[in-house]
Structure 1
Amino acid sequence: MKTQWSLIAALVIALLTAVFAVINVNSVQVNLLFSTVSIPLILLILGCTLLGGLIVGSIGIFRQYKLQREIKRLTTQLQNLQEEHTSTMEAYGHMTYDTPDSSGTLTTVDNVTEQPSSYPDRLSK
Structure 2
Amino acid sequence: MKTQWSLIAALVIALLTAVFAVINVKSVQVNLLFRTVNVPLILLILGCTLLGGLIVGSFGIFRQYKLQREIKRLTTQLHTLQEEHTPAVEAYADTVYNTSGSSSSVSTSDKDTEQTSSDLDRLSK
Give TM-score scaled by structure 1 length: 0.79
In the other structure, the counterpart of 1:96 is 96
Task: Kindly indicate whether structure 1 or structure 2 has the higher relative contact order, using CA contacts under 8 Å at least 6 residues apart.
Answer: 2
Aligned residues: 113
In the other structure, the counterpart of 2:47 is 47
Structure 1's 108 and 18: CA in aligned 2 closer, same or farther, altered over 3 A? closer
* Distance (whole Å) between structure 2 residues aligned to residue 76 and residue 26 of structure 1: 58
Q: Structure 2 stretches of 5 or more lacking a match? A: 98-105
- Shifted more, 88-97 versus 58-67: the winner is 88-97
SS in 2 for 1:93: helix
1:70 paired to 2:63: no
In the other structure, the counterpart of 1:80 is 80
Letter in 1 for 2:26: N
SS in 2 for 1:96: helix
Percent pairwise identity: 79
* Distance (whole Å) between structure 1 residues aligned to residue 55 and residue 45 of structure 2: 16
Give TM-score scaled by structure 2 length: 0.79
Following superposition, the deviation at residue 114 of structure 1 comes to: 3.9
In the other structure, the counterpart of 1:24 is 24
Cα root mean square deviation, aligned: 2.7
Q: Structure 1 stretches of 5 or more lacking a match? A: 98-105, 116-120
- Normalized per residue, the structure richer in helix is 2
- Normalized per residue, the structure richer in strand is 1
